[in-house]
Structure 1
Amino acid sequence: MKIAVLDPDRTQADLITQVLTQAGHVVQTFGSGKDLLGQLRKDACDMLVMDWHVHDVAPVDILRRAKEKLPEGTPMMFITNSSGEDDIVAGKDAGADDYLIKPLRRGELLVRTQAMLRRAYPSQNGAEQLTFGQYTFETRPGRLLMSGVPIEVTHKEFYLALLFFRNIGRPLSRAYIHESVWIRETVVPSRTMDTHVSRVRNKLQLRPENGFRLVPVYSYGYRLEKLGG
């Protein structure tokens, strides 16, 4: 899916782009409302994600004008501060479908975005299948297979394993894992994360003879390594 992101905060825009790109979407970012609206006159998008604090055009006007330019039913989500109750009311009145509260959490951003896209484009959301060697992830039913044989995993184990496979070779910090898997849980004991990682390692048999190795990164987090090329 093609997602337009309007955010004058470069750091936050980069975070959104990274999360949505890793999920397989095409992301186009804009730093101003004028740039976004100008592009929408030429080309549509499948979804709009925008920060509420845009300075060159009133955010309510951006939503209303985007709604006029985009196909009916195009999902729109905005991001605001925790104290922005008035912003939330105004945004919903202007036609936004959902909103997120700062600071952004990677997992929540991805889950809410995917849910909105599934509702808006039901015919294009069959079971997404991702394959890494002998491991196959079917995201819609949350099913995991190894060499065609189902592996019994919990919801969190499934998404923890998928997170590692989508980031092969990249060290993932505990904070990143927390935000991506334990979305709404403010505090997750270190032993809880370690237990889930251990279960994923054992259930998926992430051992050198199977081509992968899940290792701790001292004082940081974990990394999934692909062996043998």
Structure 2
Amino acid sequence: MRICLLEDDMAQLHLLNMWLCQADYTVFQFSTGRSLMASLRQQSYDLFIIDWNVPDLSGIEVLRRIRLRFGEKLPVIFATQRDFEEDIVEALNSGADDYLVKPVRKNILLAKVKALIRRAYPVSATKLLSFPPFEIDTDKSELYRNGEAVSLTNKEYLLALELFRNLGRIVSRTELFQKIWGQDGSPSMRTIDAHVSAIRRKLPLSPDNGYSIVPVYGFGYRLDCQSPAEDS
């Protein structure tokens, strides 16, 4: 899981980063609100931990922009020294999922992170994922449409799996490149776009089958549920 951490106190930033990395999370650190928002042009995150009082763009404004851009699904925790009732109410009403008053305790933070991830990204006990008319058998690495296997390369299968697992969520090209090709650095736009075109054609992903891949300019892709009526 990719956690975005916004904190301008370097000692606190280092401490939170250490705790999260020890728990096997991938952490991206920012000390200003604008640098975090700028990163969203290239990166995507699974959870945010945000301080309120940070330079140039307050944590509460960052939260509002995240909600405006990505909706309600992405979990956000506030970790701040502000302990007044009106501050807690404002943060929760602005879209925060939880609120921690500093000093943050390690075990409480990790428990809240785990709980929010469990709620936002439920893991099915079965190895067969169902997105009618599609099914994905993660044991066999096979994707089926109406019960018939679709012929996909390994990379095409992994890309389709990642998009279905993040249904309705924007996934950056960088994240796709790292997860599927296992490489750091700048992704090859041509490589990813070619594979997206392939699975769009082979499945096919169209309103007739209930889904469409939406390109997000300069960022990545989002797989949406879409009925024929919505497309007309």
TM-score by length of 1: 0.51
Letter in 1 for 2:14: D
Q: Which residue of 2 aligns with 1:65?
A: 65
Task: Note the C-alpha offset of 1:90.
Answer: 1.2
Paired residues in the alignment total 126
CA distance in 1, matches of 2:99, 2:41: 24
Q: How far apart, in 2, do the equivalents of 1:124 and 1:13 lie?
A: 33
**Counterpart position of 1:118:** 118
- 2:15 is equivalent to residue 5 of structure 1: no
Gaps of 5+ in 1: 127-229
| TM-score for both structures, normalised by structure 2 | 0.51
Moved over 6 A (4+): none
1:76 aligns with 2:91: no
The answer to whether the 8 Å contact 1:40/1:69 transfers is: no
Counterpart residue identity of residue 29, structure 1: Q
| Partners of 1:40 and 1:70 within 8 A in 2 | no
Other-structure match for 1:88: 88
| 3-state DSSP of counterpart to 1:66 | helix
How much does 1:69 deviate?
3.0
Q: Secondary structure at the match of 1:100?
A: strand
Offset at residue 72 of structure 1 (A): 4.3
Q: Secondary structure at the match of 1:122?
A: coil
Contact 1:3–1:49, Cα closer than 8 Å, also in 2: yes
Separation in 2 of the partners of 1:90 and 1:48?
A: 17
Superposed counterparts of 1:50-199, under 5 Å: 50-70=50-70, 72-81=72-81, 83-123=83-123
After superposition, the C-alpha distances for 1:145-204 in whole angstroms (9 at most, x for unaligned) are: xxxxxxxxxxxxxxxxxxxxxxxxxxxxxxxxxxxxxxxxxxxxxxxxxxxxxxxxxxxx
Partner of 1:21: 21
Output the CA distance in 2 between the equivalents of 1:58 and 1:82.
13
Do the aligned partners of residues 83 and 26 (structure 1) sit closer, same or farther apart at CA in structure 2, a change above 3 Å counting? same
Residues 4 and 45 in structure 1, CA contact (< 8 A), matched pair in contact too: yes
Distance 2:7 2:61 in 1: 15
Structure-2 separation of matches of 1:74 and 1:118? 12
What does residue range 28-47 of structure 1 map to in structure 2 within 5 Å? 28-47=28-47
Are the aligned partners of 2:31 and 2:55 in contact in 1 as well (CA < 8 Å)? no
2: distance between equivalents of 1:46 and 1:64? 17
SS of the equivalent of 1:123 reads: coil
